[in-house]
Structure 1
Amino acid sequence: MLNLSGDGSVRTCDGVSRRDFLQVGSLGAIGLSMADLARQSVLAADSTTGAGKNDRACIMIFNLGAPSQLDTFDPKPDAPREIRGPFQPIATRSPEIQISEILPRHAELAQHISFVRSCNHSAPAVHDAGWQMMQTGRFFTGGVNTPHAGSVTAYLLGRKTDLPPFVVLPELMGSGGGNLPNGQAAGFLGKAHDPFALNADPSKPDFVVPDLLPPKQIGEARMDRRRRMRDVVDQTIAGFEKSENAQLLDSSFQSAFRIISSPQARDAFDLSKEPQSVRERYGMNRFGQCCLLSRRLVEAGVRFVTVNTFLTVFNEVTWDIHGTLPFTSIEGMKNVVAPMYDQGYSALIEDLSQRGMLDNTLVCNLAEFGRTPRVNPAGGRDHWPQCWTVYFAGGGVKGGRVIGRSDPIGGDPAERPVTPPEIVATIYQSLGLNVETHLPGPAGRPFPLADFGTKPIMELFS
């Protein structure tokens, strides 16, 4: 591992050992090595084939575990009780839209939100498969791991500041039980475009991102000397320096110092700069503080932030409401999950709107599938990829509308079916990326940003 403060035995006239130079810190606690993170920044900055369209950002809230469409955003009050469930629909700020009573703050913001109630896919009804589909637009097949939409954005648009262009909060998804890639990586674009994963809980009193802060024992002057150490290495291993790998290492080294010493990066992650009243409005829990942090990161120049509402579906209260342990009951969703989620999301939308950031920030709320129309014998609902609801706000989306419609029991699309590739294409549309763009795919073959014929959901923007 790399170590910013390690002692070495061979020292230069600047007092810095060659070993110190070659062992430069670790970002392992936040998901990437420093070299990986730096390569991400360098290569992303050099790969601007789609830049210049606009300056929008995206916050993807991924509802890991999959909310029940009938108990949240697509209630069916006229269906039999075993279909409609225990909750009543409530009116929203948009007269034609009703949602579940367990999300009252969403109802107050419906004028900003557009719901897509006809999302569906034909992949296996396992969490991992849905995670891939909804975040990459494709199912993992033939050994091809398609990149996350955030990695594509980082590759095509590059970074805007010292901060990485793509961040995942609070950490990458864990196991979904299917033993498949979860879709939160750069895939064939390479690790240089993997997300910066925080790997910390920002709601904790002692929350810091230590590897973005210069260690106390290393002053700015010493860090500057280490930058100049490249000249020493050039002289001693000049042959190596001519290689492509060495040139990448050189760029990575310089960029790593820029990131680790950046006041902007440190400030963006510093939630102590927020008034306590603002933090409490978001909710003093992991999800709420991740929503607040996502706003700060976008404000500081991060292009794409993914917030995972949960990290796994096992042994914690989540959207995965099978009704029996180790999963969640409908009551658990009502009493624990929904209040936390409703508070954090509504605070984010209100905050972005009040700061004049909402039109320039797409907030999309996705999930891997829906839940069975019929309540199961345990009082829960099981996996159902045939139909569910996702929704969008900001980023050019016109709020207060519904796209698509489900059948009377919320089991199948009845109008305007929407697939995961269309969802991802819609994100690209908001960010100004042309879905007909081609990426450098496996074996050097051009790889289209979206499947042939896939179009964004243009009704959201008009």
Structure 2
Amino acid sequence: MSKRVQESQCSWQHARRSRRDALQAGAIGILGLGMNHLAGLRQATAAEGRQPSGKARSCIFIFLSGGLSQHDSFDMKPNAPDNIRGEFQPRATKTPGLQICEHLPKLAERSQMWSLCRSLTHGSNEHSAAHHIMLTGHSELPAGFSPNNPSRSDRASIAAVTGYAMRAKQQNNLPTAVVLPERLVHNSGRVIPGQHSGPMGPQHDPWMIEASPFHNTSYGAFPEYAFDHQDRGKPDERLFQAPQLSLPDGLGMQAINGRLALLESLNRQREDLASYAQVENFDRLRQGAVSLLTESSVHQALNVTNADEKHLDRYGRNSFGWSLLMARRLVGAGVSLVQVNLGNDETWDTHGNAFPHLKNNLFPPTDQAVSALLDDLHSTGELDETLIVMAGEFGRTPQITLLEKHYKLPGRDHWGAVQSVLFAGGGIRGGNVVGKSDARGAYPDEQPVKPENFAATIYDALGVPATAAWHDAQNRPHHIYHGEPIAGLS
């Protein structure tokens, strides 16, 4: 066994605790937080070799709920028949031979920063099942799966698994995984499955930052680019507002520091932290809550609508721009994974009116905000250590259809058989295309890639060891990897 493999395996065992750790544990216990809620302990374990083996320190997972049409974005078929080709024209990128949609000009100018996989495939054409498949990285649905009723028997989301895997590597007390700016909720009010930690337990659910209020008929990057798939005329007066964080009355930082100073002078401390393993997950949410309340960098990250004019102009003064600016600031503050839902549930579900809605409402804010994110990270040198992925739950059908009962203009239906996924940063080789769809954009023609490979690519980039596992309440191990990382991206 290689030394590197040995170190990786050791990094997933509980470290020995010193008397100083015991002192800190006692102090935090008085605050009602739990022994595991210690920046000191995390720094100690980091010093013992808990460093990511991958190239990325963090990941921004951009999710396009509804399903982006591959034909009209990153895998155009200009030589296909009219009923497949669509209305848009391809445009050249900075990468010789690589073309994408004419309405993504900023991304075309930055093709050296990103790569495509054009052959991701799975077997579901149903929204809720496909959400679960792509958000968890599992092609097969769990026994008893219900599209209308998320349950703890559902599989754990990629965000939750990443949060679990990175918690020992993170050198701060911030949540390891965050989802923003809203939970994905169907227009009927039911929550879409695949967004929580499933059988891992609620203590491992990713943090949900609710900055975008629910609206059941308006979609897209409000207020500038809000639209309704069926043009029903219901007004959208939502405001994008990140949560305002403040300490409860009577408990300011001076009080907290005073209590810690008093506890540091105690002579008797806990001598045995053998129960650490059993309580490690206890009150994890309180730990994150205190960090969110006390970290100035977090307050700055969430206060995006009041960012300086230059940043707002670059990212866009809309929910897409604000969300990606918030994500960029959160990974800068030390959060390991931020999932950004670009639009509420089924925003990209272009069954009808597809071409005007993509051209006028969806592509402009996406092109602007994702390009600004790439520029921002590149200018500071952080793109090399920040993996960016962008995917939906599926692609769209090759054939253009018209559902006259609901739409005035044509679109495309659900299609799990193939979609295009964008990757950037975190060791990804820019200006690169992996996989190929057939001439109709219907099925993979070369190098089919599964959701398991998609998830493994994220875990691998973040340095999660191939042997890593999470443990359930009965301490049974569950492997994190269920496929190999996508070959050819790096």
- The equivalent residue for 2:135 is 135
Q: Distance in 2 between matches of 1:246 and 1:132?
A: 30
Q: Could you tell me whether the CA contact under 8 Å between 1:59 and 1:364 is conserved in 2?
A: yes
Q: Could you tell me whether the CA contact under 8 Å between 2:211 and 2:240 is conserved in 1?
A: no
- The equivalent residue for 1:283 is 316
> Amino acid of the residue matched to residue 331 of structure 2?
V
Residue 458 of structure 1: SS of its match in structure 2? Answer: coil
Taking a change above 3 Å as real, the CA distance of residues 22 and 414 of structure 1, as seen in their structure-2 partners, is same
- The equivalent residue for 2:165 is 156
TM-superposed deviation, 1:295: 0.8
Question: Which stretches of structure 1, 4 residues or more, deviate above 3 A after TM superposition?
Answer: 21-24, 38-52, 176-181, 201-208, 215-231, 242-259, 441-445
Q: Distance in 2 between matches of 1:369 and 1:45?
A: 40
The sequence identity of aligned pairs, in percent, is 36
Residue 68 of structure 2: SS of its match in structure 1? Answer: coil
- The equivalent residue for 1:412 is 443
TM-superposed deviation, 1:150: 2.2
TM-superposed deviation, 1:47: 10
- The equivalent residue for 1:172 is 183
- The equivalent residue for 2:74 is 73
Deviates more, 1:288-297 or 1:124-133: 124-133
Residue 348 (structure 2) pairs with residue 319 (structure 1): yes
- The equivalent residue for 1:334 is 359
Question: Deviations for 1:239-285, whole angstroms, at most 9, x for unmatched residues?
Answer: xxx99999976776566444422323323323367421111210100
Residue 296 (structure 2) pairs with residue 263 (structure 1): yes
Residue 454 (structure 2) pairs with residue 423 (structure 1): yes
TM-superposed deviation, 1:343: 0.7
Q: Distance in 1 between matches of 2:285 and 2:240?
A: 30
Q: Could you tell me whether the CA contact under 8 Å between 1:112 and 1:400 is conserved in 2?
A: yes
Deviates more, 1:212-221 or 1:89-98: 212-221
> Amino acid of the residue matched to residue 207 of structure 1?
Q
Taking a change above 3 Å as real, the CA distance of residues 176 and 133 of structure 1, as seen in their structure-2 partners, is farther
TM-superposed deviation, 1:356: 0.6
Residue 414 (structure 2) pairs with residue 380 (structure 1): no
> Amino acid of the residue matched to residue 438 of structure 1?
A
> Amino acid of the residue matched to residue 191 of structure 1?
P
Residue 339 of structure 2: SS of its match in structure 1? Answer: strand
Residue 488 of structure 2: SS of its match in structure 1? Answer: helix
> Amino acid of the residue matched to residue 299 of structure 1?
G
TM-score (norm 1): 0.78
- The equivalent residue for 2:115 is 114
Taking a change above 3 Å as real, the CA distance of residues 247 and 117 of structure 1, as seen in their structure-2 partners, is closer
Q: How is 1:212-361 mapped onto 2 (pairs within 5 angstroms)? A: 212-215=245-248, 218-223=251-256, 256-271=289-304, 274-313=307-346, 318-323=347-352, 329-361=354-386
Return the structure number with greater helix share: 1
Taking a change above 3 Å as real, the CA distance of residues 445 and 249 of structure 1, as seen in their structure-2 partners, is closer
Q: Distance in 1 between matches of 2:356 and 2:59?
A: 32
TM-superposed deviation, 1:112: 1.2
TM-score (norm 2): 0.74
Unaligned runs of 5+ in 2: 1-28, 145-152, 214-221, 223-237, 265-274, 404-409
Number of residue pairs aligned between Structure 1 and Structure 2: 408
TM-superposed deviation, 1:228: 9.7
Q: Could you tell me whether the CA contact under 8 Å between 1:151 and 1:194 is conserved in 2?
A: yes
Taking a change above 3 Å as real, the CA distance of residues 397 and 406 of structure 1, as seen in their structure-2 partners, is same
Q: Distance in 1 between matches of 2:276 and 2:93?
A: 61
Question: Deviations for 1:352-384, whole angstroms, at most 9, x for unmatched residues?
Answer: 111111010000001111101010024110001
TM-superposed deviation, 1:443: 5.2
Q: Distance in 2 between matches of 1:254 and 1:429?
A: 27
Q: Could you tell me whether the CA contact under 8 Å between 1:160 and 1:302 is conserved in 2?
A: no
> Amino acid of the residue matched to residue 460 of structure 1?
L
Question: Deviations for 1:47-83, whole angstroms, at most 9, x for unmatched residues?
Answer: 9997542561000000111111001100000111110
Q: Distance in 1 between matches of 2:174 and 2:344?
A: 24
> Amino acid of the residue matched to residue 132 of structure 1?
H
Q: Could you tell me whether the CA contact under 8 Å between 2:174 and 2:335 is conserved in 1?
A: yes
Q: Distance in 2 between matches of 1:322 and 1:141?
A: 28
- The equivalent residue for 1:460 is 489
Q: Distance in 2 between matches of 1:320 and 1:251?
A: 36
Residue 410 of structure 1: SS of its match in structure 2? Answer: coil
TM-superposed deviation, 1:433: 1.3
TM-superposed deviation, 1:209: 2.4
Q: Distance in 2 between matches of 1:311 and 1:114?
A: 25
Deviates more, 1:170-179 or 1:104-113: 170-179
> Amino acid of the residue matched to residue 241 of structure 2?
F
Residue 470 (structure 2) pairs with residue 446 (structure 1): no
- The equivalent residue for 1:29 is none
Question: Deviations for 1:122-158, whole angstroms, at most 9, x for unmatched residues?
Answer: 1x31122222222221143125422222222221221
Q: Could you tell me whether the CA contact under 8 Å between 1:99 and 1:107 is conserved in 2?
A: yes
Q: How is 1:41-56 mapped onto 2 (pairs within 5 angstroms)? A: 51-54=51-54, 56=57
Q: Could you tell me whether the CA contact under 8 Å between 1:43 and 1:192 is conserved in 2?
A: no
Taking a change above 3 Å as real, the CA distance of residues 290 and 119 of structure 1, as seen in their structure-2 partners, is same
Residue 455 of structure 2: SS of its match in structure 1? Answer: helix
- The equivalent residue for 1:62 is 63
Q: Distance in 2 between matches of 1:457 and 1:424?
A: 9
Q: Distance in 2 between matches of 1:443 and 1:176?
A: 38
Taking a change above 3 Å as real, the CA distance of residues 331 and 182 of structure 1, as seen in their structure-2 partners, is same
- The equivalent residue for 1:11 is none
Residue 69 of structure 1: SS of its match in structure 2? Answer: coil
